[in-house]
Structure 1
């Protein structure tokens, strides 16, 4: 979902990292399960969310 938003909006970027290869980032964001999504270093959640819930989290990160 994050990548779809990034494709459709030039103001959004999305990155995927392999936690075992980027240990420093995994530690920084306290990754203990995947997928873990972090939005603007303000909102984060673990697991796949249904699209409406994902969008709620994106909007929450804006405010």
Structure 2
């Protein structure tokens, strides 16, 4: 299975985590408009979603410690 940009994707199944060891749950965060726009543009440049970009940034910060 591939996406239009040629990279492989994983088959998604309800209730089964794909990229991480646990399922994601909805949460609310408040951001400035400038920060939100930056996240959107950065996610688009990375061919990913804002959610995945935020997850990667936070996990990278956690692994520094």
**Does the TM-score normalized on the shorter chain lie above 0.5?**
no
- Normalising by structure 2, what TM-score? 0.31
Larger Rg computed on CA atoms: 2
Alignment TM-score, normalising by the size of structure 1? 0.32
Structure having the larger proportion of residues in strand: 1
